[in-house]
């Protein structure tokens, strides 16, 4: 029995994938599914701002893909939105401040649907939460989980659309978030009466040191039959990821870069 660490990679079937958008771009990604059973749920991950280091390998998503197929039977689809680079490669196109990215979100959902992946949930983080709220109301999507939503690009109209649709929506709000803290989040998300807004004590926007708590909350929502907290030890084969590959690509490394504003409609 060995401890599961930040760089631990548990067994899964991992496949490099490409997504094709309706406006003609090719995006790079990865799909991780359980080795020994069909998945009980699927996470389609929408990453933080690429202009600030966000990518498919941002640490919560990386750990989800490395752990959840084995620990919770959950499939994890990660990809780079247009113009975004990670170890997997660079997606075609250029950052479009949440506008053209609507095609990226649609391509990822379509891939999950045609791959017959079950119980599709969108998992957005920061900029990815805006993409979720703006472009994620697809009939094949079960619901959504928002990590550190800044509500920067999305508008009250998008919140009203989620309220009308009724799909499950959970927002995890760090106590010390840089953009939207629990009290204001409760006020803003009141526009979606059924939304579950969960304050996360002690947490910050980047969730450093809180990945396990976040993964537990995610699993609670998408696979409630799985016992949490998830195990912190693993009795079986386990590989180690190369953490140096992300040293200069973390969101924190871009903390002094001005945040882009939404493009005018």
Q: Give CA separation, 261 vs 92, 96, 131, 153, 205, in Å.
A: 22, 10, 14, 8, 18
Residue 3 lies in a domain: no
The count of domains in the chain is 1
Residue 265 lies in a domain: no
What phi and psi values does residue 61 have, to the nearest 5 degrees? -70, -40
Looking at residue 18, which CATH number applies to its domain?
3.40.50.1820
Tens-digit pLDDT profile for the chain (265 aa)?
Answer: 999 999 999 999 999 999 999 999 999 999 999 999 999 999 999 999 999 999 999 999 999 999 999 999 999 999 999 999 999 999 999 999 999 999 999 999 999 999 999 999 999 999 999 999 999 999 999 999 999 999 999 999 999 999 999 999 999 999 999 999 999 999 999 999 999 999 999 999 999 999 999 999 999 999 999 999 999 999 999 999 987 766 555 555 445 455 666 654 3
Length of the chain: 265
Residue 263 lies in a domain: no
Q: Give CA separation, 2 vs 10, 60, 100, 113, 231, in Å.
A: 11, 21, 44, 36, 11
Where in the sequence is the domain holding 34, given as residue range(s)?
A: 10-254
The answer for residues whose C-beta is within 8 angstroms of residue 122's C-beta and 6 or more apart is 43, 44, 46, 105, 109, 132, 136, 141, 143, 144, 145
Residue 264 lies in a domain: no
- The reported pLDDT for the residue numbered 142 is 98
- The reported pLDDT for the residue numbered 242 is 84
- The reported pLDDT for the residue numbered 260 is 64
Residue 193 lies in a domain: yes
Residue 2 lies in a domain: no
Residue 259 lies in a domain: no
Residue 112 lies in a domain: yes
């Amino acid at each position: 029995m060995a401890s599961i660490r930040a760089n631990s990679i548990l067994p899964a079937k991992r496949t490099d994938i490409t997504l094709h958008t309706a406006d003609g771009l090719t995006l790079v990604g990865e799909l991780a599914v359980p080795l020994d059973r069909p998945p009980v749920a699927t996470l389609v991950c929408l990453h933080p701002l690429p202009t600030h280091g966000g990518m498919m390998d941002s640490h919560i998503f990386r750990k989800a893909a490395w752990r959840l197929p084995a620990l919770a039977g959950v499939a994890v689809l990660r990809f780079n939105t247009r113009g975004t680079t990670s170890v997997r490669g660079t997606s075609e196109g250029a950052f479009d401040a949440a506008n053209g990215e609507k095609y990226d979100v649609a391509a990822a959902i379509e891939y999950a649907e045609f791959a017959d992946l079950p119980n599709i949930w969108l998992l957005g983080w920061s900029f990815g939460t805006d993409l979720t709220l703006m472009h994620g109301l697809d009939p094949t999507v079960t619901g959504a989980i928002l990590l550190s939503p800044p509500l920067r690009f999305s508008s009250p109209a998008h919140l009203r659309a989620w309220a009308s649709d009724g799909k499950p929506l959970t927002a995890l709000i760090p106590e010390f978030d840089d953009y939207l803290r629990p009290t204001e989040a409760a006020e803003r998300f009141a526009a979606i009466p059924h939304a579950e807004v969960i304050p996360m004590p002690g947490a910050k926007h980047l969730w450093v040191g809180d990945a396990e708590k976040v993964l537990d909350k995610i699993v609670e929502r998408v696979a409630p039959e799985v016992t949490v907290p998830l195990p912190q030890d693993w009795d079986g084969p386990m590989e180690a990821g190369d953490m140096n590959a992300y040293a200069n690509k973390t969101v924190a490394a871009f903390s002094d870069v001005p945040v882009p504003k939404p493009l005018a409609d």
